[in-house]
Chains A and B, each alone.
Chain A
Amino acid sequence: MKASELFVLVSIIVFIFSLAYITSLGGLGQLPPVNVRLLAQRYLELTWNPLKPFMSSSGYESVTAIVWDFRGLDTFFETAVFYGAIIAAIAIYRGVKITGKGRTTGMSPIARTITRLSIILIPTVAASIALHGHLTPGGGFQAGSVATVVVVLIIMVFGRKALIRKGMTKARILLFRSLGLLGIGFTAVAILLAGIILGLNAYIFQNQPKPFAPLGFPKLYDGMILGGSLLLFNLFEFIAVTAGFTLVLLLLSLGEEEVRGVVEK
């Protein structure tokens, strides 16, 4: 590294640290209080509180409780935006034939063997993150992005055509993606539908029973914390995110010639 480059680097670092110092002194606007704020206190108090059953959520994990229970509608629309982005990617690649025919040039046998082990290990970690999302840090989106790493590895090491030959065609991945989103939508209105059928009062995104709305998802089963709707939301989000990312990676890994031939027509 030359002396001039080192000078540039050191001045960037000095600039960032002086900016951080000014910010910490309150020079760029008022600072938030250091202690836990009232809203955070309320969330921490109500995430798992058997003494206030009408106000609390159903898992130990505050972040999952906020994401899928206290602020569930926001996350639902976020998932819908992600789905729209995937639809846009498919629309750009319309008409391009994605087949598994032809030779694949993969990597060396060492890389292949290591990847074969990871194909089992990484989805196991992802499933534990998704299914324990209401107890430990994690959740559907986290698990989905972890599981996508396996797809990246398969496409890089074995080739895209190997993935398609194993049965992961575009239509099938899109089916999983839609099933995940339908599951999220159904879980959001499940209690409302049950309430309409039984003639009881109920809300959308209802997890636990509320005053004058006695229906709710099961909180405990045989002493085990089920997490109510949090578990279902995490599971369906896991499926939806994994399939969505897989589809985008599959489309992006297509060869330039195949896509250009269709687009220029």
Chain B
Amino acid sequence: MIEVFTLAFLMLVSVASVVAAYLAIRERDMVKAIVYSAIQSAMYALIFYVLMAPDIVLVYIPVSVGITPAVLLFVTKKTERYDGD
């Protein structure tokens, strides 16, 4: 029974990550796209935690939610914020 719940949770989280990735690609505003991408990474971190990889979670959360968005924000500041046609 508990396995079914785990798998259902994993399925929900992975669907949410796909939605976040789609929104990140569709978004014209770079800052919002970075936030969507961070949400997608947080979903991945949850999947790693449920699949019993706490070492990966500990490195994945700071890198994907903290450092990568920061680097992307610095880079966005040097270019244009809105993606044109």
Question: Is B55's CB under 8 angstroms from A12's CB?
Answer: no
* A37, B72: Cα distance in complex, Å: 40
Chain B's closest residue to A143 (CB) is: B58
Interface centre among A142, A155, A256 (most CB of B within 10 A): A142
Question: At the interface, yes or no: A249 with Cβ under 8 Å from chain B?
Answer: yes
B22, A12: Cβ atoms closer than 8 Å: yes
Checking B14, B15, B57, B67 against A152 with a beta-carbon cut-off of 8 angstroms, the contacting residue is B67
Chain A residues, CB < 8 A from B50 = none
Would you list 10 pairs from A and B whose C-beta atoms are within 8 A, ordered by A residue? A9-B22, A12-B18, A138-B55, A141-B59, A145-B66, A149-B62, A152-B66, A152-B67, A249-B67, A252-B71
How far, in whole Å, are A146 and B71 apart by their CA atoms in the complex?
Answer: 15
- List, in ascending order, chain B residues with CB within 8 A of A155's CB: 70
Cβ B59 vs Cβ A253 within 8 A? no
Contact of A145 among B19, B67, B71, B78 (CB under 8 A): B67
Q: Which 6 A-B pairs have the closest CB atoms?
A: A137-B54, A142-B58, A149-B66, A145-B62, A152-B70, A252-B74
In this complex, what residue of A is CB-closest to B21? A12
Q: Which residue of A lies closest to B14 (CB)?
A: A16
Question: Interface extent on B, as a size class?
Answer: 20 to 34
State whether A142 and B66 are in contact (beta carbons under 8 Å apart), knowing that A9-B19, A12-B22 are contacts in the complex. no
Shortest C-beta distance, B52 to chain A (Å), equals 10
Chain A interface (Cβ < 8 Å from any Cβ of B): 5, 8-9, 12-13, 16, 63-64, 129, 137-139, 141-142, 145-146, 148-149, 152, 155-156, 245, 248-249, 252-253, 256
User: Chain B interface secondary structure, helix, strand, loop or mixed?
Assistant: helix
Within 8 Å CB of A9, what residues of B? 18-19, 22
What chain A residues lie within 8 Å of B26 (beta carbons)?
5
Residue B51 at the A interface, CB < 8 A?
Answer: no
Q: Which residues of A contact B19 (CB under 8 A)?
A: 9, 13
Contact, CB under 8 Å: B70 / A137: no
Is B74's CB under 8 angstroms from A253's CB?
yes
B63 near A: Cβ within 8 Å?
yes
With both beta carbons as reference points, the residue of chain A lying nearest to B26 in the complex is identified as A5
**CA–CA, A142 and B14, complex, Å:** 24
Complex CA distance for A13 and B15, rounded to whole angstroms: 7
Q: Which B residues are CB-close (under 8 A) to A129?
A: 58
